[in-house]
Amino acid sequence: MTGNQIEGLVGMLATFGLLVLMVLPSVIGIVRDRRIDRQIREAQEDGESRVRHEKETQKSSSRSTVPSTATWYAEGRRSKKLVNS
């Protein structure tokens, strides 16, 4: 190989190396995002199946779900604090 060919090869390898260094963070980010998306999707599917299982095993109650007086009073106090401050 002549000196010009070696120079061209070194220049081409340097350019390719810089391209890899520029693209690598993006590729790593894409792979990481896909992994996180897959984990979220699996967690949602697990949660849905757990909720479905709980609904099947849950006993229905004939009692009303009206909040107690203490809960109603506490809610009123909290909203007044937010308005005054």
Q: Which of 9, 27, 29 is nearest to 19 (CA)?
A: 27
Q: Rounded to 5 degrees, what are φ and ψ at 53?
A: -65, -40
Q: Which residues contact 9 (CB under 8 A, 6 or more apart)?
A: 1
pLDDT (0 to 100) of residue 6 = 95
pLDDT in tens for each of the 85 residues of the chain? 899 999 999 999 999 999 999 999 999 999 999 999 999 999 999 888 887 877 777 665 556 666 666 666 666 665 555 555 4
Distance of CA 5 to the CA centre of its chain: 50
12-43 in b/e form (b: 16+ CB < 10 A) is eeeeeeeeeeeeeeeeeeeeeeeeeeeeeeee
Query: Can you give the pTM of this predicted structure?
Result: 0.49
pLDDT (0 to 100) of residue 49 = 83
